[in-house]
Structure 1
Amino acid sequence: MAKPGDQTSRYNRLVIAFVALGSTTYGYGASVIGSTIGQPGWYTFFQLPRHGEPGYGTITTPVIATANGIFSAGAAVACLVLMWSGDCFGRVRNIQAGCLLGILGGVLQGGAVNLAMLQTGRFIMGTSIGIMATMTPMYLSEMSSPLSRGWLVGQHAIFLVFGYMLSAWIGYGLYFLPNTSFSWRFPLCFQVFFPLVLLAGSPWVPPSPRWLISKGRHDEAWGVLVRLRRSSEDPDDLVAKKEFRQIKEQLKLDHEKLSAWGGSPWKAVFAKKSYRKRMIIGFLTQWGAEFGGPLIINNYSVILYQGLGQTRSMPLLLSALWLTTAGVIYNPGGAWLHDKLNSRRWMFMTGFTGIAITTSGLTAMIACFAGTDNKVGNAMGVVFMFLYLFFQGTFCDTTMYIYVSEIFPTEIRSIGMGWSLFGQFSSTIILLQTAPIGFAAVGWKYFLLVICWSVVFVPIIYFYFPETARMSLEELEKQFGDEVAVHDTTALGTEEHSEQ
């Protein structure tokens, strides 16, 4: 007899890989500004002083800060809207909307004739990224089986960092072209590629079976589940039958519980203790992950490398290499480890311990050697940036998205995911808006924010975050003190689809 939860068909893998193009859309769109600010033609076209020139701190720095802040603001707004639209229109329809917004945002940025047009494009692109960052991991989680969910949902972080990496290498390669306008316009225009491909193929992407069942569309959900779990070792589709019944019974139970709040999940997330706990943990997971500093270093890596004595094309090259190690080694390794170590909590705590240590080293190097001719000290600063990425990319980047995609029951998953990702982007508004100004005003002291938060966050995770690994999305409700409709799926082998 097939073991429940351990089957992932080729069709399932193909769907996961294709939808993860939304993650690449997110990664590329969020990261492209990091290479844009390394292109001389960008400064020339918009008549902005470059690093080291008079007026850089008062004119250019606010423009860069606004480009990042308004991007995060667009994403935060989208996340709040998704708390409603995620369930109303479904996962796939929202992803399609994200594709359309991503295409529009990329066109406006790449064709910008003034800063107002550029910043408008950044805001619209941000709304696209908010949708992709929320809907993609949620969809991947709902399509995955429990024993491979770490690896499959981890594709979100892998494809995301591929977008980071691609934007960095494109920016580095175009730095050497004599056409300075093309060098900064093409990377911004290229943002439309991945959402365009995803939108074109989206009519063939199946809806989430959990969303379908929640809408009473049982036959469609059954058809999707059979294709996701089909295996030659399971000719009677026993695994699909077990999962189908567990989802159906848990949704029925959760729906009955909502009657205490007038059937409204919106009331329940505030009134029900276990739901409030999930909302707080979800928000803290994403907020906390970003206060660990990944986007500070990624989006302003050119500025940091310049401060550590790197000049001309070298900051762009180092940025590309930094992201390549994440895309090729760290994030895939982290996704693989999740289904081996059997713990989300310890992955997260290990990552933040390493972040505190390596950021301390980076801060010390910046404090002592930035702006000096000490090549060894500046080189050690670069080394600490790469060591930082080992811990952040391997242990945190995959964990943050896997964890929040697991902890919410289907009845409130869109509300919870939207709220959690709102936490991420509200934190990036603060961090990315203030980072370049902070670098100019207080220098190395700005990184004390990352260090102090990391030290505080580890015990918060240890004492308050429950484990979610290797359980079905329905079974892990017991981790929050809620009732589980079907505890032992192995007892469901005789359940027939006709009993819908």
Structure 2
Amino acid sequence: MSLNRLEGRKLLGGITTSCCLGFMLFGYDQGVFGGLLANPSFQEQFNHPSTTIESQIVSTYTLGCIAGSVVAIFTGNPLGRRNSILLGCAFLTVGGILQATSYSLAHMIVGRVVSGIGIGFNTTTIPMWQSETCKASLRGKLVALQLACLVFGFVLTNWMNFGFTYIPNNPVSWRFPLGFQALLALGTACLVPFLVESPRWLCLKDRHAEAKQNIARLFAKEIDDWEVQETLDIMIETIASERAEGEVGWREVFHNGKQQTFRRICLGAGANIFQQLGGVNVVAYYLPVVLERSFGFTPRMSLILSACDSMQWMFWGTMMIFVIERFGRKKLMLFGASGCSLCFAVSAIGLGIGTQASNGVAVAFIFLFYFFFGMSFMGIGFLYPSEINGNRSRSLGAAIAMVTNWVGVYIVVSITPVGIQNIGWRFYIIFAVLNAAWLPFIWFFYVETAGLSLDEIDRVFVIKHAPNSGLTYPQAIQQAKAEMEGERLNLRNTTGRDEGKETVEHVENTV
């Protein structure tokens, strides 16, 4: 079977592979620069930059990510999911080439910004595309798999940087790792044209015939099959009911309507605040620097420990695939915030005491951080905005969440070297306090979405916030499921379909 005629599980596998490659590139970019800052050839090429300049070289990439996410707010719906990813890959290819060939700080910074724009597009769009082309029961698992691939990219760059320490004075030791990202971007881009566009996006554009064809391919069914038609009918009906309220404008972004747009955008963005201001990039971007400057390890040993730590991060990220649907998003976020707070608190205490034994405990808890983060915020930060936002505001809400994400990254990567240099172990107390502060917000405001279709999530907010409702979210969830099942049965009755058929888990929708 040719690539452009894949269907069913093979088609979903192709989409997932493409999404995983895109996120592997994201993880690779996250880690590649932290291991190059101590490279002798790199230092010589750029005249031994100060700590402040190092921070700005790293963080300009994040500014590009912010810019890409902002642009995606306005281009996401007009371009569609596939074209947005292809555009992101084009920026990443050009950015990788610019960085690998740079001979001045200005040249390097331009390359970092261009690559960042590409990552901004891809991190906004990829989870959405995956969610809109898979069943509700697979949505969390597949997005968690993408995040495991993100960490694999991070592992790859850690070991690559370590390997090149054996030729430290050769420019290849830093030019090749920076150029390699262009190859990963091309690999992602080569797959996307052979895969299907999101049926839900096609319905938003009133391209119902194409949407029906894509649903049939995703289900591996004939185009006139009753399941295909039923799924299309539900999508069209849900989108039509939302359109009755008009287009989502900036005024509605900051006000709640029947669909609770503002509330839902805030929940998606909040998950990314928890993810980034919880301190993951103190570890992800700068672990070699942290181990060298805070704990006193040699540069090579710092790289070895960083690479080993990233491997156990990948393991815990992979384990999340098996728990995200079983325990749900809310419980895992509570678990993650509690554990991450504990890890930073113990690390700060250990470094503050300053003995060899206490420093060993501090290192152990820095390593333990990835267990709690990998099993919680790593995946949920990207998944939650793609499912909590409604059909009309999904692209907008996902883009705002990613802007929030990258602003958080920029803040943390900008202050970490300076913070470690000026206040030492006290810097880690900030993140212990922040993670503890997330707990009441998660407990009181977050809604469980595990096991719900995207249409059911929409219905939950309508029911919960209807005038004089008085229902709790769990009660609204049960009512939404009952109403959606009744509507499916009515559709079958009115079109003469067999009522005895099992209810189909229809194609889902993301950012």
Task: After TM superposition, give the deviation of residue 78 of structure 1 in Å.
Answer: 1.2
CA 1:217 to 1:497, structure 2 compared with 1: closer, same or farther past 3 Å?
Answer: farther
Distance 2:223 2:110 in 1: 53
Task: After TM superposition, give the deviation of residue 72 of structure 1 in Å.
Answer: 1.2
Asked if the contact 1:35–1:302 (Cα under 8 Å) also holds between the matched residues in 2, the reply is: yes
Asked if the contact 1:230–1:237 (Cα under 8 Å) also holds between the matched residues in 2, the reply is: no
Task: After TM superposition, give the deviation of residue 266 of structure 1 in Å.
Answer: 3.6
Structure 2 residue identity aligned to 1:320: A
Asked if the contact 2:288–2:302 (Cα under 8 Å) also holds between the matched residues in 1, the reply is: yes
**1:223-280 CA-partner distances (Å, limit 9, x unpaired):** 111222237xx9985544433222111001001122xxxx344433233341010121
Distance 2:305 2:341 in 1: 22
Please show how residues 145-294 of structure 1 align to structure 2 within 5 Å: 145-177=135-167, 179-230=169-220, 237-258=225-246, 263-273=247-257, 274-294=260-280
Distance 1:320 1:8 in 2: 37
Please show how residues 292-303 of structure 1 align to structure 2 within 5 Å: 292-303=278-289
**1:361-391 CA-partner distances (Å, limit 9, x unpaired):** 111222222xxxx543333222111111000
Asked if the contact 1:30–1:129 (Cα under 8 Å) also holds between the matched residues in 2, the reply is: no
Distance 1:239 1:156 in 2: 28
Q: Give the equivalent residue in structure 1 for 2:381.
A: 400
Distance 1:165 1:238 in 2: 46
Distance 2:155 2:357 in 1: 27
Q: Give the equivalent residue in structure 1 for 2:309.
A: 322
**1:389-420 CA-partner distances (Å, limit 9, x unpaired):** 00001122011111111011121111100101
For the pair 1:355 / 2:352, whether they are aligned, the reply is no
For the pair 1:365 / 2:365, whether they are aligned, the reply is no
The SS at the match of 1:456 is: helix
Distance 1:367 1:440 in 2: 14
Distance 2:32 2:494 in 1: 51
Q: Give the equivalent residue in structure 2 for 1:100.
A: 90
Structure 1 residue identity aligned to 2:388: I
| Structure 1 unaligned regions, length at least 5 | 1-6, 49-58
For the pair 1:455 / 2:436, whether they are aligned, the reply is yes
For the pair 1:445 / 2:426, whether they are aligned, the reply is yes
Q: Give the equivalent residue in structure 1 for 2:66.
A: 76
Asked if the contact 2:40–2:168 (Cα under 8 Å) also holds between the matched residues in 1, the reply is: no
**1:282-334 CA-partner distances (Å, limit 9, x unpaired):** 2211122101111111111111111212113111111111111122x111111
Structure 2 residue identity aligned to 1:271: H
Structure 1 residue identity aligned to 2:196: P
**1:43-99 CA-partner distances (Å, limit 9, x unpaired):** 122221xxxxxxxxxx52112210222111111111111111000111111111100
For the pair 1:420 / 2:404, whether they are aligned, the reply is no
Distance 1:270 1:487 in 2: 28
Distance 2:161 2:496 in 1: 53
Q: Give the equivalent residue in structure 2 for 1:345.
A: 330
The SS at the match of 1:360 is: helix
Structure 2 residue identity aligned to 1:332: T
Match of 1:333 among 291, 316, 319: 319
Structure 2 residue identity aligned to 1:269: V
Structure 2 residue identity aligned to 1:272: N
Match of 2:453 among 472, 475, 481: 472
Structure 1 residue identity aligned to 2:17: A
Higher deviation after alignment, 444-453 or 246-255: 444-453
Match of 1:138 among 102, 117, 128: 128
The SS at the match of 2:392 is: helix
**1:181-223 CA-partner distances (Å, limit 9, x unpaired):** 1111111111111111112222212111110011011111111
| Structure 2 unaligned regions, length at least 5 | 1-6, 467-479, 498-511
Task: After TM superposition, give the deviation of residue 179 of structure 1 in Å.
Answer: 4.5
Asked if the contact 1:409–1:477 (Cα under 8 Å) also holds between the matched residues in 2, the reply is: yes
CA 1:264 to 1:476, structure 2 compared with 1: closer, same or farther past 3 Å?
Answer: closer
Pairs aligned (count): 470
The SS at the match of 1:206 is: coil
Distance 2:323 2:367 in 1: 20
CA 1:217 to 1:357, structure 2 compared with 1: closer, same or farther past 3 Å?
Answer: same
Asked if the contact 1:467–1:479 (Cα under 8 Å) also holds between the matched residues in 2, the reply is: no
For the pair 1:20 / 2:20, whether they are aligned, the reply is yes
The two structures have a TM-score, normalised by structure 1, of: 0.89
The SS at the match of 1:257 is: coil
Distance 1:87 1:303 in 2: 40
Q: Give the equivalent residue in structure 1 for 2:470.
A: none
CA 1:381 to 1:238, structure 2 compared with 1: closer, same or farther past 3 Å?
Answer: farther
Please show how residues 47-58 of structure 1 align to structure 2 within 5 Å: 47-48=47-48
Structure 1 residue identity aligned to 2:342: I
Structure 2 residue identity aligned to 1:353: S
Distance 1:366 1:321 in 2: 21
Asked if the contact 2:40–2:169 (Cα under 8 Å) also holds between the matched residues in 1, the reply is: no
Asked if the contact 2:14–2:195 (Cα under 8 Å) also holds between the matched residues in 1, the reply is: no
Task: After TM superposition, give the deviation of residue 496 of structure 1 in Å.
Answer: 6.2
CA 1:248 to 1:116, structure 2 compared with 1: closer, same or farther past 3 Å?
Answer: same
Q: CA RMSD in A?
A: 2.3
